[in-house]
Amino acid sequence: METHRLFRGLFLINFSITLGFGIADAFFSMYVFSLGARGILLALPLVLYSLSKILFSPLMGAYSDKLGRRTVTTISLSLYLFVSICYFFTTSLVLITILRLLQGIGCAMFRPVVASLVGESTTNEKRSTVMGTFDISFYGALSAGPVIGGILKDSWGFRGIFAILILLCITALLVALLCIPVQKLHQQKLTEHNTVGPFKFKTFFTMTRQNSLRGLLAFIFGRACGISLLGAFLPILLSTKLGLSGTQTGLVMASSTLVFTILLRPVGIISDKAPRKSLVVVGGTIVSLLYFLIPVMAGFHQILFLVVGIGLFSVLSQPASTALLAEEGVRHGMGLTVGTFNSVLNLGFIAGPMFGAGIQYTLGLTSVFYAAGTMGLVAVGLFMANILSEDRRIPQSSSKALNL
């Protein structure tokens, strides 16, 4: 009962925070533009937010292993609340830039600790199902955020958006204080005191040299690049080459996320019964191959069907890869592992559009999707190579131990 109560609380916390900042972030660039931001002042808040998530995620994840999940969750949600209140009251571009940096630090604290709590509260046999179900709170809120944000902006303006953000942050903080028991924190500290040392960069680099984790991080990086490339350049292709209307473009862009969200739990159940590594390979390979077909699509229905297929096979690897990540967390410290994962994920979200912009400028728009498919296949290949290397190493280690 305590585990179910914790899961429901974490689901609500994650949904509230993702929805709140999904609403605000969808219109953030428009907001600072309306305040007069141009050039560096327009780009700097966005860049600092991404960089802070990349740089601080491993560090914050590692310290959540030492300080305890309840403490770090409370600090991160309090920081989120402080940032949202300041957004409501200030129009200073300098202060907003600093707040955006703090928001990135809050995210670097929040994402690893919440994922760690979920991963630690379930057994390996049901981990894909639980993690897949939990991811609904993220992707469902993420897809609903821009729609709700648009309604709020039209009705009450940007202050209405930030008012709702404050309410959602307060809700998440109260739920966290109620559903994450102190007793769990004490038990966790006693358990992890003997297994997780203080954060050291040497420990971080040693961990990332492990073949199984390194392969998983390579796959995550390639997948993030593909997702960001699709989000940045597919709307351009839909409007310039296919001549789709705004409504048709929106339907195409939303279809993948909708299918992905609906199938998370069913695919999570499948991932608990099927080989997880195989699901990652199959899903990642097919999605990469589908990227190659995007430039040859000739109309709305064809591209809609193709993007639905991308969502379908993307979800095939999601619960499996998340469960594999949790397995690595058991070995290396859940907070540090998930924090490293988030750092690599966000690095891929930045690298993808930058790489795509160079490809688009030199080789043309259609080449971007061929590049995305190639990057995806390379990422899957690296995952397979590292996993096979790890599988060969384990029997050798076991035989040496028996000989001793």
For residue 185, the model assigns a pLDDT of 40
Report d(CA 381, CA 377) in Å as an integer.
6
- The pLDDT of 280-291, averaged and rounded, is 95
pLDDT 10s digits, 82-120: 999 999 999 999 999 999 999 999 998 898 888 888 877
Under CATH, which number does the domain 2-191 receive? 1.20.1250.20
- Is residue 387 very low, low, confident or very high in pLDDT (cuts 50, 70, 90)? confident
Residue 160 has pLDDT above 90, yes or no: yes
- 45-59, 197-211, 288-302, 359-373: least confidently modelled range: 197-211
- Give me the count of residues in the chain: 404
* pLDDT tens for each residue of 307-336: 999 999 999 998 888 888 888 877 777 777
What is the residue type of 319?
Answer: P
**Homologous superfamily of 203-398:** MFS general substrate transporter like domains (1.20.1250.20)
Residue scoring higher pLDDT (20 or 189): 20
**Reported confidence tier of residue 186, pLDDT bands at 50, 70, 90:** very low
pLDDT of residue 14: 95
Provide the percentage of residues in the chain whose pLDDT is more than 90. 33
Outline which parts of the chain fall under CATH 1.20.1250.20.
2-191, 203-398
Sign of the CA dihedral running 121, 125, 128, 134: negative
Q: What is the pTM of this model?
A: 0.79
Query: Which three-class secondary structure string do you get for the chain?
Result: CHHHHHHHHHHHHHHHHHHHHHHHHHCHHHHHHHCCCCCHHHHHHHHHHHHHHHHHHHHHHHHHHHHCHHHHHHHHHHHHHHHHHHHHHCCCHHHHHHHHHHHHHHHHHHHHHHHHHHHHCCCHHHHHHHHHHHHHHHHHHHHHHHHHHHHHHHHHHHHHHHHHHHHHHHHHHHHHHHHCCHHHHHHHHHHHCCCCCCCCHHHHHHHHCCHHHHHHHHHHHHHHHHHHHHHHHHHHHHHHCCCCCHHHHHHHHHHHHHHHHHHHHHHHHHHCCCCHHHHHHHHHHHHHHHHHHHHHCCCHHHHHHHHHHHHHHHHHHHHHHHHHHHHHHHHHCHHHHHHHHHHHHHHHHHHHHHHHHHHHHHHCHHHHHHHHHHHHHHHHHHHHHHHHHHHHHHHHHHHHHHHC
**Residue keyed to tokens 């988030």:** 342
